[in-house]
């Protein structure tokens, strides 16, 4: 029996379909309603929340493998406490429950945000900084709340490994897939579909959700690796290029007007004030306004060598996402 947390999310929903395709029995946690994911009728759904240690413990009865995909992604200041509760305390609950049952193996979905930074290259070389699994988290540096929560969640997994848990982690970059039009990275595709005119001159690292799932499956089920983490990223591209390709996939007009850095700085400050006065979530935050200004590449050589496979080209992934979304209700 395999337990999946976060089964309604982008990674979790595709993972469940692949597990069922392998003929494996799947149990999944849900909080309020059973999600409408492919193969949902073949899944043993259990009501529970990863923040509830007793519920997590009960869900692990008879389980041999756990795929911990549940997590909160947010850059809104009002979500800082919730990020700690979901990403850190929730992961601690999963790790503790796994430790209580001998032989359980954990596959954890982390993020490149938890990696920290590699030392910057000298300015005269003009090299693009590269980050891999060896990057060290700088405790003295400024980190956004989401990155901090994923780093602390990884520490919980490392604690579990030190106490005897067999566990492996994947660190994906921004995951592209035909998911919920209102959530996660799919909102980038919606932005292109809606023919917005503006874009920020930033660079973004991307990966296909199917590649993330294959990496997670291969590492957790087909290897005995433990205490290892793996960057999962197909490469980087300018945000304008992503939006342009997505717009082409939808038959829409691409954005053409770049938002200069000073304007982005002004906008996030105004949004912060609006959020404080109204209680609404800011459309842009300091972290999202500054994300990607410094070109950065996440190196995924380790996972390539481990599993002996390449990532799907990003252009192919973007076309696939657009086709799937256009065929469904979200693209209408």
The proportion of the chain whose per-residue pLDDT surpasses 90, expressed as a percent, equals: 61
**What CATH number does the domain located at 2-331 have?**
3.40.50.720
Prediction pTM value:
0.90
Mean pLDDT estimate for the chain: 87
Tell which wins on pLDDT, 270 or 104.
104
pLDDT band per the 50, 70, 90 thresholds, residue 105: very high
pLDDT band per the 50, 70, 90 thresholds, residue 127: low
b vs e for 10-24, b when ≥16 Cβ sit within 10 Å of the residue's Cβ? bbbbbbbbbbbeeee
Q: Which ranges in 251-313 belong to alpha helices (H)?
A: 261-278, 286-290, 301-307
The proportion of the chain whose per-residue pLDDT surpasses 70, expressed as a percent, equals: 87
For the cut 60, the answer to whether the pLDDT of residue 159 exceeds it is yes
Closest CA to 71 of 105, 28, 125, 110: 110
Q: What tens digit of pLDDT does each residue of 231-290 get?
A: 999 999 998 999 999 999 999 999 988 887 767 677 657 666 766 777 766 656 666 656
pLDDT at site 125: 46
Domain boundaries, the chain: 2-331
pLDDT at site 327: 84
pLDDT band per the 50, 70, 90 thresholds, residue 330: very low
């Amino acid at each position: 029996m395999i337990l999946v947390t976060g089964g309604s999310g982008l990674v979790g929903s595709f993972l469940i379909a692949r597990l069922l395709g392998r003929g494996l029995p799947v149990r999944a946690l849900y909080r309020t309603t059973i999600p409408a994911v492919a193969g949902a009728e073949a899944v043993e759904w259990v009501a529970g929340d990863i923040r509830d240690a007793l519920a997590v413990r009960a869900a692990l009865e008879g389980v041999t493998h756990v795929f911990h995909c549940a997590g909160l992604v947010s850059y809104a200041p009002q979500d800082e406490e919730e990020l700690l509760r979901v990403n850190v305390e929730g992961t601690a609950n999963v790790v503790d429950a796994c430790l209580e049952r001998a032989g359980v193996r954990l596959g954890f979905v982390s993020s490149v945000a938890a990696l920290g930074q590699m030392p910057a290259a000298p300015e005269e070389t003009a090299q693009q900084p590269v980050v891999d699994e060896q990057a060290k988290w700088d405790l003295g540096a400024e980190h956004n709340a989401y990155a901090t929560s994923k780093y602390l969640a990884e520490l919980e997994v490392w604690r579990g490994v030190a106490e005897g848990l067999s566990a492996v982690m994947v660190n994906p970059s921004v995951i592209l897939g035909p998911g919920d039009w209102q959530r996660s990275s799919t909102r980038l595709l919606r932005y292109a579909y809606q023919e917005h005119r503006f874009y920020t001159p930033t660079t973004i690292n991307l990966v296909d959700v199917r590649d993330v799932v294959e990496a997670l499956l291969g590492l957790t089920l087909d290897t005995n690796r433990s205490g290892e983490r793996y960057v999962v990223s197909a490469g980087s591209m300018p945000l304008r290029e992503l939006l342009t390709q997505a717009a082409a996939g939808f038959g829409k007009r691409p954005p053409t007007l770049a938002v200069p850095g000073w304007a982005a700085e002004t906008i996030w400050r105004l949004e912060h004030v609006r959020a404080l006065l109204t209680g609404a979530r800011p459309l842009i935050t300091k972290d999202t306004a500054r994300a990607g200004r410094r070109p950065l590449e996440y190196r995924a050589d380790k996972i390539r060598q481990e599993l002996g496979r390449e990532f799907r080209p990003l252009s192919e992934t973007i076309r696939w996402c657009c086709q799937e979304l256009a065929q469904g209700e979200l693209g209408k």
